[in-house]
C-alpha cells in the first residue's frame, strides 16, 4: 500500500513522509521530522542496523530498492526498551521475506531512476537475492523543473542490496549487504552582487547485517558499516569543506522466557572528521539567518577523531491482566564512553591531549493498552530516552569537547475505536521534554573548546487524529490531522522560540479506488508554514563591503503549504508475470508553494522561492515468478 501511494513515485520509503506524525518536509530536504523532533533525533534501522538517512539527497527517493522493503513501522514516541540512542522517534524497516518461487524478479523504469531485483532458491532451504537502482535525477530534473534546482539537489544516486537467507538448521539465518551513493553539484541564487553560491557533495554508506532468529524465543544479530561524506560549499571567496569517515559495528541478542523479554545491545564507532572554512556554514538549528545570507568572515580549520562505545542491557515484562489490560514495563541501562584525540585546539609546538567522557543512562519505559469495550481501547506509553552527541560537534575549534548528549521524557495517551470492520479511528495526545541539546555558546567570545555547549532545551506537545478505511468495494482512504507546538531555547534565552521546522497544523488525506487492474489515487497535503527570522532593516558593513540584516524579535511564518498529487496505475497479470504502468502527477494544481523568503543584497526588498511546480513521473514495472 505504501508503494502505490500517490506522491511516493512507487517508493515505499518516500511514502513515510506522509505518515500522520511526520512533518511535511521542505523541498529538497532528506530529513525526517517526527512530532517536533529534529531529523537527527529519530533513529532509522533496517533489519536491526542503524543507517544515517532514509533518503537520497533531495528526499525524492529512498536508499533501499523499493522491492526489497517488506514492512515499515514508525513509532513517533514512547518506544520500548529494546531500542535507544534517540530522543525522537524510531523507524524500523524489515526487508521483504524470501519467496518460495524458484526464481522471481522485478525490473522497473521511471522518470527518476531504474531498478531491478532478482531472487532465487538454488536449494529449498536457501534463498539468494540481488537488487540495485540507478538514479538520473541530475539529468531529468533540469528538463522537468529547471527552477527547482536551487532547492532540490539534482542528485545522481546508486543503491544496492544482496542477501542470503538459510533455513538450514533450527531457526533462520540471513546475511544482508546494502548501501547507497550520492553525488550532487549545484549552484544557488546570486543574492549578493557577483556572488554565486555553489555546493558539491559526495556521500555513501554501506551495511553488512547478520541475523538469526528462532521464532520469538531467540533473536541475535550483528552489523558492521562504513559511512563517508564530503561536502564543499562556496560562498564567493569563502569556501567551507567538511569530510567525515566513520566505521561502526554493533551486536544485539534477545531472548524471551514466557512474559519476560531480555536483551543486550552494543554499538561502537570511530569517526574521523575534517573541517575548514567559515564557521557559519552550514547554519545550525536556531541560527538567525536568512536564505542566501553571507556566512561571515570567521574562518578556521580542524581535524579530529571521535570514538564512541555503548552497551545496554534491557528487560521488558509483557503482562496480560484480566484479559483486558496489556502492560509492558521495561528498563534499559546503558553505560557509554566517548573519547576524543584533542581536548583543546592544536598550537604551534604543542602536544595533542585527548579526553574521555563516561556516563550511565538509566531509562525506565512503560507501554500499556486497555480494552474498554469491543472495538474501543485506550493505549499509553512513555519513558526516558538518551542520545549521544554527534561526533561532528566534538571539534575543539568548531564545537565542544565537553558534550554528554541529550535526554528526553516521552508521554502519549489516546483512544482507538473500530466501529466496524475496516474502519479505524484514533486520537492521541503527546508530550516530549528534552534537555542537554547541543547549541552555540551565547557569548561573543566562547571559551576554548566550547563553541558548542549542551545547554539547549526542547519541548513539543500536540494531538493527532486519524481515520483509516481498509479497502471496501474497491474504495480505501485515510485522513490524518495533527497539531504540534514544538519549541526550543538555549541557556540564557528569555523565552521559548518556535523550532525551525515547527508546523502547527498538518492535514493529510488520501483516497484510492481499484477496479479490474486499475488503481486510482489522490493525496492532499496541507501544512502550516515553518518559522523564519523577520528582517526589519539592514546596516552597511563598511569593513567587508556588504549589508547585514537586522532581525526583529518575533519570527514570521512561510505561507501555508498545499499540494495535491494524483496517481493512476494499470496492472495486468499473466500466468507467471505481472506488467504494470503508472502515471503520477506531483503538485497537480501547479500551486506555487513558498519554501523560502529571499532578499535583495541590501535587504530592502523581499521575494519568495517556490518549490516544485507540476511534475509528472511516468514508469513501468515488470515482475515474474
Type and span of the H or E element at 142: helix 137-144
Type and span of the H or E element at 11: none
Q: Is the dihedral of CA 456, 461, 465, 470 positive or negative?
A: positive
Is it the case that residue 280 has pLDDT exceeding 80?
no
| For range 414-424, the mean pLDDT | 92
Q: Which residues contact 553 (CB under 8 A, 6 or more apart)?
A: none
Is it the case that residue 402 has pLDDT exceeding 60?
yes
Q: What is the pLDDT of residue 193?
A: 63
Is it the case that residue 147 has pLDDT exceeding 80?
no
| Number of residues written out for the chain | 625
| For range 565-586, the mean pLDDT | 92
- The span from the CA of 67 to the CA of 625, in Å, is 14
Q: Which residues of 118-128 are buried (b: 16+ CB within 10 A; e: fewer)?
A: bbbbeeeeebb
Q: What is the pLDDT of residue 349?
A: 54
| For range 148-165, the mean pLDDT | 87
Q: Is 216 exposed, middle or buried (0-12, 13-18, 19+ CB in 10 A)?
A: exposed
Question: Which percentage of the chain shows pLDDT scores above 70?
Answer: 97
| For range 360-388, the mean pLDDT | 95
Is it the case that residue 251 has pLDDT exceeding 90?
yes
Q: What is the pLDDT of residue 50?
A: 96
Q: What is the pLDDT of residue 263?
A: 95
Q: What is the pLDDT of residues 499-531, one digit of tens each?
A: 999 999 999 999 999 998 899 999 999 999 999
| For range 425-445, the mean pLDDT | 92
Q: Which residue has the higher pLDDT, 349 or 539?
A: 539
Q: What is the pLDDT of residue 558?
A: 94
Q: Per the structure block, which three cell numbers stand in for 617? A: 513521473
Average the pLDDT over each of 39-48, 110-119, 145-154 and give the range with the smallest value: 145-154
Is it the case that residue 47 has pLDDT exceeding 70?
yes
Q: What is the pLDDT of residues 338-372, one digit of tens each?
A: 999 988 887 755 566 789 999 999 999 999 999 99
CA trace torsion 80, 85, 89, 91 (10° rounding): -80
Q: Which residue has the higher pLDDT, 101 or 440?
A: 440
| For range 529-541, the mean pLDDT | 91
| For range 548-563, the mean pLDDT | 91
Q: What is the pLDDT of residue 625?
A: 84
Q: What is the pLDDT of residue 192?
A: 64
Q: How confident is the model at residue 189 (pLDDT cuts 50, 70, 90)?
A: low
Q: What is the pLDDT of residue 351?
A: 66
Q: What is the pLDDT of residue 542?
A: 83
- The span from the CA of 305 to the CA of 303, in Å, is 7
| For range 403-423, the mean pLDDT | 94
- Looking at 66-197, which runs of residues are DSSP E strands? 69-75, 90-95, 103-110, 113-123, 126-135, 156-169, 171-187
In a 3-state reduction of DSSP, which class is residue 150?
helix
Q: How much is the mean pLDDT over the chain? A: 90
Q: Which residue has the higher pLDDT, 238 or 300?
A: 300
Q: What is the pLDDT of residues 440-472, one digit of tens each?
A: 988 778 888 888 999 999 999 999 999 999 989
Average the pLDDT over each of 81-90, 115-124, 212-221 and give the range with the smallest value: 212-221
**Residues 68/46, Cβ–Cβ less than 8 Å:** no
| For range 130-139, the mean pLDDT | 91
The CA–CA distances, whole Å, from 230 to 184, 199, 224, 344 equal: 11, 11, 21, 24
| For range 155-161, the mean pLDDT | 92
pTM for the complete prediction?
A: 0.93
Amino acid at each position: 500500500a505504501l508503494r502505490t501511494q500517490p506522491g511516493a513515485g512507487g517508493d515505499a520509503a518516500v511514502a513515510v513522509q506522509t505518515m500522520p506524525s511526520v512533518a511535511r518536509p521542505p523541498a529538497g530536504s532528506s530529513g525526517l521530522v517526527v512530532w517536533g523532533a529534529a531529523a537527527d533525533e529519530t533513529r532509522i534501522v533496517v533489519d536491526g542496523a542503524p543507517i544515517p538517512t532514509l533518503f537520497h539527497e533531495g528526499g525524492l527517493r529512498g536508499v533501499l530498492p523499493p522491492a526489497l522493503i517488506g514492512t515499515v513501522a514508525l513509532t513517533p514516541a514512547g518506544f520500548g526498551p529494546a531500542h535507544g540512542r534517540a530522543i525522537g522517534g524510531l523507524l524500523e524497516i524489515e526487508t521483504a521475506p524470501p519467496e518460495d518461487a524458484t526464481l522471481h524478479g522485478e525490473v522497473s523504469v521511471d522518470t527518476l531512476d531504474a531498478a531491478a531485483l532478482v531472487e532465487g532458491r538454488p536449494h529449498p532451504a536457501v534463498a539468494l537475492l540481488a537488487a540495485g537502482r540507478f538514479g538520473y535525477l541530475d539529468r531529468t530534473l533540469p528538463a522537468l523543473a529547471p527552477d527547482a534546482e536551487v532547492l532540490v539537489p539534482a542528485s545522481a544516486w546508486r543503491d544496492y542490496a544482496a542477501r542470503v537467507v538459510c533455513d538450514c538448521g533450527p531457526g533462520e539465518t540471513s546475511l544482508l549487504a546494502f548501501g547507497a551513493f550520492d553525488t550532487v553539484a549545484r549552484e544557488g541564487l546570486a543574492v549578493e552582487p557577483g556572488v554565486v553560491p555553489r555546493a558539491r557533495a559526495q556521500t555513501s554508506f554501506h551495511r553488512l547485517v547478520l541475523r538469526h532468529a528462532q521464532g520469538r524465543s531467540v533473536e541475535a544479530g550483528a552489523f558492521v558499516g562504513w559511512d563517508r561524506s564530503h561536502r564543499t560549499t562556496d560562498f564567493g571567496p569563502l569556501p567551507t569543506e567538511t569530510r567525515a569517515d566513520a566505521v561502526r559495528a554493533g551486536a544485539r541478542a534477545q531472548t524471551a522466557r514466557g512474559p519476560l523479554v531480555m536483551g543486550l545491545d552494543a554499538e561502537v564507532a570511530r569517526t574521523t572528521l575534517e573541517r575548514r572554512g567559515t564557521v557559519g556554514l552550514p547554519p545550525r538549528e536556531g541560527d538567525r539567518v536568512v536564505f542566501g545570507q553571507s556566512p561571515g568572515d570567521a574562518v578556521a580549520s580542524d581535524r579530529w577523531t571521535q570514538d564512541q562505545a555503548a552497551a545496554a542491557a534491557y528487560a521488558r515484562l509483557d503482562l496480560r491482566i484480566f484479559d483486558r489490560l496489556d502492560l509492558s514495563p521495561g528498563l534499559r541501562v546503558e553505560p557509554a564512553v566517548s573519547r576524543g584525540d584533542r581536548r583543546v585546539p592544536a598550537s604551534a609546538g604543542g602536544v595533542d591531549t585527548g579526553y574521555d567522557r563516561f556516563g550511565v543512562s538509566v531509562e525506565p519505559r512503560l507501554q500499556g493498552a486497555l480494552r474498554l469495550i469491543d472495538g474501543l481501547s485506550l493505549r499509553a506509553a512513555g519513558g526516558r530516552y538518551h542520545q549521544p552527541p554527534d561526533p561532528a560537534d566534538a571539534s575543539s575549534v568548531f564545537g565542544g569537547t565537553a558534550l554528554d548528549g541529550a535526554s528526553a521524557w516521552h508521554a502519549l495517551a489516546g483512544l482507538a475505536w473500530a466501529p466496524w470492520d475496516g474502519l479505524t479511528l484514533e486520537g492521541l495526545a503527546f508530550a516530549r521534554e528534552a534537555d542537554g541539546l547541543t547549541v552555540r555558546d551565547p557569548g561573543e567570545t566562547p571559551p576554548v573548546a566550547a563553541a558548542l555547549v549542551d545547554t539547549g532545551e526542547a519541548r513539543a506537545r500536540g494531538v493527532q487524529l486519524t481515520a483509516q478505511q481498509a479497502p471496501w468495494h474497491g474504495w480505501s482512504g485515510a485522513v490524518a490531522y495533527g497539531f504540534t507546538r514544538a519549541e526550543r531555547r538555549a541557556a540564557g534565552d528569555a523565552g521559548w522560540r518556535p523550532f525551525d521546522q515547527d508546523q502547527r497544523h498538518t492535514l493529510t488525506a488520501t483516497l484510492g479506488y481499484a477496479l479490474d487492474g486499475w488503481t486510482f489515487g489522490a493525496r492532499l497535503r496541507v501544512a502550516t508554514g515553518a518559522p523564519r527570522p523577520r528582517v526589519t532593516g539592514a546596516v552597511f558593513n563598511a569593513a567587508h563591503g556588504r549589508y547585514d540584516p537586522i532581525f526583529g524579535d518575533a519570527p514570521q511564518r512561510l505561507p501555508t503549504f498545499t499540494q495535491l498529487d494524483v496517481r493512476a496505475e494499470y496492472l495486468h497479470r499473466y500466468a507467471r508475470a505481472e506488467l504494470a504502468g503508472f502515471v503520477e502527477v506531483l503538485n497537480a494544481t501547479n500551486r506555487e508553494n513558498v519554501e523560502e523568503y529571499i532578499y535583495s543584497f541590501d535587504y530592502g526588498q523581499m521575494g519568495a522561492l517556490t518549490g516544485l511546480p507540476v511534475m509528472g513521473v511516468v514508469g513501468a514495472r515488470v515482475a515474474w515468478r
